Amino acid sequence: MTRSALIRDDLPYWPAALRLDQAAAYVGLSVPIFKEVCPVKPVKFTQSTRGQRYLRDRLDNWLADLDPNGPLSPKPVRRFGDNLDGGKSAA
């Protein structure tokens, strides 16, 4: 498999822990607006403000909570063999 098949070069790489400017870009806001509206607090890796990082998972949760459509419905659980007979067996 080629590298391009594994990694899409045209998509940005977002680390799990983002700097302030990266976190703002990740959610699509300017840094000043991000600082004003984002309730997610950064994790302190060092005592310096340059050592603070926003966890991408926390940002994702915040954005999902903003969605007026509500939570996503979970995917149906499929078991091995569910479709062996064309899905005609009784559940």
pLDDT digits 0-9 by tens, 2-35: 444 445 566 578 999 999 999 999 999 999 999 9
Would residue 77 count as lying in a domain?
no
Q: Higher confidence at residue 75 or residue 46? A: 46
Would residue 62 count as lying in a domain?
yes
Would residue 78 count as lying in a domain?
no
Give pLDDT, residue 10: 62
The domain containing residue 51 runs over which residues?
A: 11-66
Would residue 84 count as lying in a domain?
no
Would residue 82 count as lying in a domain?
no
Would residue 26 count as lying in a domain?
yes
Would residue 89 count as lying in a domain?
no
Number of domains present in the structure of the chain: 1
Would residue 16 count as lying in a domain?
yes
Q: What is the mean pLDDT of the chain?
A: 82
- What is the 3-class SS of the chain, one letter each residue? CCHHHHCCCCCCCCCCEECHHHHHHHHCCCHHHHHHHCCCCCEECCCCHHHEEEEHHHHHHHHHHHCCCCCCCCCCCCCCCCCCCCCCCCC
